[in-house]
């Protein structure tokens, strides 16, 4: 049975899109947050407007990570009310109330400002994130609560294995009766 779960997990992983990496944009599959935690996914579309400005996301004055164009990151956090900020010549705030087991999404955009670009955070939907191809932020932009690509892959593999182990085993097929068997007479 354990062997079946391992093969099923491998099949699930082979059939799902890969996670993104810093080198190659891909469709991204994310794991559920760890038990008792929540997660925020921050992403920024690509484009030329504001491309030189990084969207540095902070919480309570501490940098969480920064988003160059066409990148994303996932931060695991405690449930509750959170205030995320971005700033350059202007400051923008995003207030979210996260529940345990929940994933919420936020997109960053940069508009023209007087002296520099003006970053803006907005609530986004899962569809806005999952419908596009992304690169993850590089390791030098990550803080302790930002998931690395390896952590995302490990969590996806563990969830696939748990789902496969929880799935009922297929029932054995009953033998077919033919005209030559006594039951068919």
Q: CA 93 to CA 85: how far, in whole Å?
A: 4
Residue 139 to residues 22, 71, 86, 174: CA-CA distances in angstroms? 9, 12, 20, 55
CB-side exposure of 87: number of CA atoms within 13 Å? 11
Q: Which of 165, 157, 182 lies closest to 13, judged by CA?
A: 157
Measured over the CA atoms of residue 55, residue 138, residue 73 and residue 39, the dihedral's sign is: negative
Q: What is the pLDDT of residue 166?
A: 81
Determine the average pLDDT of the residues in 72-88: 93
Is the pLDDT score of 3 beyond 50? no
Q: Which of 20, 68, 17, 75 lies closest to 45, judged by CA?
A: 68
Share of the chain above pLDDT 70, in %: 72
Q: Whole-number mean pLDDT of the chain?
A: 79
Is the pLDDT score of 183 beyond 60? no
In terms of Cβ atoms closer than 10 Å to its own Cβ (0-12, 13-18, 19+), residue 145 is middle
Q: Which of 131, 121, 141 lies closest to 64, judged by CA?
A: 141
pLDDT-based confidence at 64, cuts 50/70/90? Answer: very high
Q: CA 57 to CA 23: how far, in whole Å?
A: 22
- The answer to which of 75-79, 103-107, 167-171 has the lowest mean pLDDT is 167-171
Residue 171 CB: number of other CB atoms within 10 A? 6
For residue range 162-177, what is the model confidence (pLDDT) as tens digits?
888 887 766 655 555 5
């Amino acid at each position: 049975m354990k062997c079946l779960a391992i093969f099923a997990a491998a099949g699930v992983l082979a059939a799902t899109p890969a996670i993104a990496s810093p080198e190659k944009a891909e469709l991204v599959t994310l794991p559920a947050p760890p038990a008792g935690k929540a997660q925020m996914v921050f992403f920024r579309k690509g484009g030329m407007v504001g491309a030189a400005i990084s969207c540095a996301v902070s919480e309570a004055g501490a940098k969480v990570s920064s988003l160059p164009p066409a990148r994303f990151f996932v931060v695991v956090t405690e449930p509750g009310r959170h205030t995320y900020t971005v700033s350059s010549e202007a400051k923008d705030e995003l207030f979210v109330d996260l529940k345990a087991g929940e994933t919420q999404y936020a997109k960053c955009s940069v508009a023209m400002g007087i002296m520099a670009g003006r970053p803006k955070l907005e609530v986004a939907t899962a569809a806005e994130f999952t419908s596009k191809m992304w690169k993850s932020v590089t390791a030098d932009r990550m803080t302790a609560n930002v998931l690395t690509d390896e952590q995302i892959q490990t969590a996806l593999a563990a969830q696939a294995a748990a789902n496969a182990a929880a799935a009922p085993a297929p029932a054995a097929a009953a033998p077919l009766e033919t005209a030559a068997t006594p039951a068919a007479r």
